[in-house]
Amino acid sequence: MEETLKIPAHVAIILDGNGRWAKSKGLPRNVGHTQGARNIETICRAAHSLGIKYLTYYAFSTENWNRPKDEVNKLMELLRDYMKTAVKRANKNNMRVRIIGDINRLDDDLIESIRNLEEASKDNTGLNMQIAINYGSRDEIVRAVNRFIDEKGAAHITEEELSAHLDTADIPDPDLLIRTSGEQRLSNYLLWQLAYAEFYFTRVPWPAFSEKDLKEAVAAYSSRDRRFGMIKES
């Protein structure tokens, strides 16, 4: 009899390998980003079918602005293309979409589209999808502390108060982190929230990451004994 998998409630994914996937096929890097963007919806459907409740993608970091200007522009155009149909697709799939990160650096039209998407999908009850755009965990923590000081006028802050001022304030911490394409580092992603998450690294590049690969990651997670710093009796 097949053992029932323990399904993580929240999976965070670092989408790595778009450019390398394209290069391996003799294609421009931007083709890899396009294919990677398309794969987001595929993995959303797979996650929902598995029973995952929250899925958070690392799409564009605060450091990604340092990439070649042409590549950054193409990534912003991909985001614009996604936003054109995002509300319709989110409501069709009963999916709530939220953006984490400092969106104030984005162009005004993108900021407006993001706010419209979040408002239009806020009552959906299916998969919760978060996309990290212009996101860096250190930046997030600094912004959270500054928000707290602005609100409370105090210099003392507790863990609970800091958590309540993060971009992910009402979202449970991830149970599982997946990073694609073979790299094994956090790259300034959800440093606070991943304190007790299980990590899973795969050499599969993001554009090629499939439902089968997601199931393998969940199976690996399911086989682990999560201790949360506690010693369990043998």
Catalytic residue numbers read 16, 64
The pair of structure tokens assigned to 222 is: 């399911």
The pair of structure tokens assigned to 79 is: 């985001």
